Structure 1
Amino acid sequence: MNLTLSQFREFIPQRPTFGLFGYPVAHSVSPQLHAALFQQNHIKADYIAVEVPPHQLEEAFSLAKEKLLGCNLTIPHKINILPFLDEIDEDAAALGSVNTVLFSAGKSYGYNTDIDGMSLAFKRDNLSLRGKEVLILGNGGVSAMAAYLCAKNGARVTVCARNPKGPKAERLYQLLRRCGYSIRITDFSHVPERTQIIINGTPVGMSPEEGHTPLSLSQCPWTQYVFDCIYNPRRTTLLKEAKTRGIPYQDGLLMLVGQAARAQELWTGAHFQPKQLLETEQMIAVQLMFKRLREHYHRENLVLCGFMGCGKTSVANCLGKFLDITPLDTDQLVEQQEKKTIATIFKEHGEETFRSLEREAVRKASSQKGTIISLGGGAVLDPRNVEVVKQTGLLVWLDTPIERILEVLRGDTTRPLAKGGEPALRARHDSRTPIYRHACDLRVSGITIEDLCREVCESI
């Protein structure tokens, strides 16, 4: 639920309620994220987002003390909230930045759980900071937090700023110095060549200004790991370059989940298992993917194509469960309508009849909105089908390696075109590959269903 400050004045909580204060908050995923985390621990609570102009923060915070059990702060309130707090956690005080507030026994307590979120993300990748040369891009609040975390864990930190002698850079330098850490600040044309870890704390590459990157990884040939705090898009231009170069990387989504989970631990005493955080990350990833389908690609549906056995139906079902929707499978639509299996239709009526029925199934599925469609392996051979699905859907080709496909199809007698043995399957696969490549909007590749799901979400 998103509220204006005027609406928040009239708001009456019906059960334990927490909130987010920011300006703006319209595009925040925090309400969905916290709702998912509450559900993970069976906590009955609400979470609201309130748009609070900077000059009205004091009033909003006063109202929060009466109505909420805790709140989060985002831009531009993380620093301005400090004078209104009774007590501040050590890390938050060191940073001079608070993103989480707990109301308890008439007092307000401030914390910075972004540190916990980034720590969680690094932990998943088994990233060791001690003794590493870390380059942090930007000198804003996120970069300051990253510099503090890395220095605290024994890294040698360089901060890259557009104006290394400007007031923001000087404040960051003095902040770390007060904490007992020495860092170097430079500009983007003098980055340390032997940098091992790069952390992007700038908004460069964030939607809608995609396609830009804060620097080229060619400037840092020793790079071993890249972390981008951006999560929309999941794969920024910087991370695409890391992937191309074979450098391990991570976006900011798990960091977002981690900071929210830590906030709930402070508010409710809840504890989250790694599996719960992974499931929550996956759910938010799929929701973000569908949001980008509409806002960035201007499409309503996700359409999966690829060779038989590539995993289309399994991927559709895996993604669909996080959206609480039942995907549409064009082969299944044909079977339901004809009350016959595909194999029987081929045997009794031939492939031409099946392709005619398939065209109708594709048209019917494409008329829906907000769904996931998996096409039969040969559907895109007909340009009419491609034209129809692209009117409402983004066509994604699951380019699963042929060896994996052969493994899946081994012993499968239900697919008419799978007969003929391995040589025939390889030949058919090779002949269709250029057709899939030409027809698709995006190509993803992976071995497992989990790999393919992740690639679909990150690529979109």
Structure 2
Amino acid sequence: MTPTYLDDETDRLHVPHRFAVLGSPIAHSRSPLLHRTAYSVLGLPWQYEAVEVDSDALAGFVERLTPPWRGLSLTMPLKETIIPLLDSVDAVATTAGGVNTVLVTFDDGRRRLEGFNTDVYGIRECLVRGGIPAVKSAMVVGGGATARSTVVALAQLGAEHVDIVLRSPDKAASVVESARAAGLSRTVVALHDRDAVAALEPDLTVSTLPGGAGVSARFTGTPALRAPLLDVAYHPWPSELGVLWGAAGSTVIPGLTMLVHQAVAQLRIFVHGDPLVKIDGEDRMTAALLEAVAS
């Protein structure tokens, strides 16, 4: 069989591949900025765009993928919807229950879709670079796809226990399952239960709520303020929780750094097909991405 793309990686990288971030809504996405910056730094003739695609339209969009498509980034609500459409899903994405990256390849005209989760890498890397290389117990605020990725990342940093705090405890099942699969003990706490929240003393808090969620009063005066915060929200910034933790004198890690590092892992997949294989010039590229999102 004759591959659609050249076997030699150096030659293949200089094919004008197409990429896109899909989601709904999608106009706010920083992914085009990140990927276009990376392609410029690396000297790659690749195109990256943002495309409005909801869950109902996803299968049709994927079915129409032909060369020179090479990859997709996925945001909500598509991280779960994409899974049945894939030929394979990596172990991290399986544990986290969500895919945010798809590698598209073609062999003798047959399309193959491989799913990955780079949010886990992004969360872990921004914590390590933020001075938190290990953690024993943590509080995760929220119950969606990012919360699931967070508990997997925490397990990779050595966590043993996670407190899952959310508005509706009856919606915690998927995060509980990811925590179980990652080997963590877990407790579910209702956000409105002031006494229960105040009793938590985590080594780290990770908020996966959107910006402007209106929950800062739930944490005012609690022991959690004495430990660092990673807030994955990045608009507006500083977030309300970032302001609260900052006023307490604690370390606050912004969500944009997580966004950058998950993009780095996506780029590894698009270049090498493997999130663990570094890109030549990766340090220079990462610095350019951090500068781009800071401006």
Do the two structures share a fold, i.e. TM-score over 0.5? yes
Q: What is the CA-CA distance between 1:180 and the residue it aligns to?
A: 3.4
- TM-score for both structures, normalised by structure 2: 0.84
Q: Which has the larger radius of gyration?
A: 1
Q: Deviations over 1:318-366 (max 9, x none)?
A: xxxxxxxxxxxxxxxxxxxxxxxxxxxxxxxxxxxxxxxxxxxxxxxxx
Segments of structure 2 that go 5 or more residues without pairing to the other structure are 1-14, 273-278
The residue aligned with 1:118 is 123
Of structures 1 and 2, the one scoring higher in RCO (CA 8 A, sep 6+) is: 2
For residues 260-275 of structure 1, the aligned pairs below 5 Å read 260-269=263-272, 270-275=279-284
Q: Which has the higher helix share?
A: 1
| Counterparts of 2:208 and 2:46, CA distance in 1 | 32
Distance (whole Å) between structure 2 residues aligned to residue 152 and residue 184 of structure 1: 19
Match of 2:202 among 191, 195, 207: 195
**What CA distance in whole angstroms lies between the structure 1 residues aligned with 2:86 and 2:247?**
46
Aligned-residue offset at 1:217: 4.4
Q: Which residue of 2 aligns with 1:91?
A: 92
Cross-structure match for 1:219: 222
Residue identity matched to 1:247: S
Contact 1:147 1:159 in 2 (8 A): no
The size of the alignment, in residue pairs, is 266
Q: 1:241 corresponds to which residue?
A: 244
C-alpha contact (below 8 Å) 1:198/1:223 kept by paired residues: no
Specify every segment of 5 or more residues in structure 1 that has no aligned partner in the other structure, as ranges. Answer: 1-13, 287-460
Is the 8 Å Cα contact of residues 100 and 115 (structure 2) preserved in structure 1?
yes
The letter for the 1-side match of 2:223 is C
- The AA in structure 1 aligned to 2:206 is I
The CA deviation at 1:139 is 1.0
Q: Does residue 278 of the first structure (1) align with residue 287 of the second (2)?
A: yes
Residues 216/70 of structure 1: CA separation in 2 closer, same or farther (3 Å cut): same
1:53 match: 54
Output aligned runs, 1:339-354, within 5 Å: none
Any idea what SS the aligned residue of 2:185 has?
A: coil
- Tell me by how many angstroms 1:273 deviates: 3.3
Q: 1:128 aligns with which of 121, 125, 133?
A: 133
Whole-angstrom CA distance in 2 between matches of 1:227 and 1:151: 16
Deviation of 1:53 after TM superposition, in Å, equals 2.4
Q: Deviations over 1:123-168 (max 9, x none)?
A: 212203342x21111111111111121134321211101122x1x2
Q: Distance in 1 between matches of 2:158 and 2:257?
A: 23
CA contact (8 A) 1:254 1:281 kept: yes
Instruction: Quote how far apart the aligned CAs of 1:182 are.
Output: 2.1
Greater shift in the superposed pair: 191-200 or 255-264:
191-200
Q: 1:66 to 1:84 in 2, by over 3 A?
A: farther
Matches of residues 11-26 of structure 1 in structure 2 within 5 Å?
15-26=16-27
Work out the CA distance in 2 between the residues paired with 1:123 and 1:66.
Answer: 37
Q: Hey, what does 1:148 align to over in structure 2?
A: 152
Structure 2 distance, partners of 1:170, 1:176, is 10
1:230 aligns with 2:237: no
CA positional deviation for 1:65 = 4.3
CA RMSD of superposed structures (Å):
2.0
1:222 positional shift: 6.2
- 2:275 alignment counterpart: none
Q: Matched residue of 2:81: which SS? A: coil
Distance 2:224 2:142 in 1: 20
Aligned equivalents of 1:214, 1:278: Cα separation in 2: 36
Aligned to 1:170: 173
Query: Percentage identity across aligned positions?
Result: 26
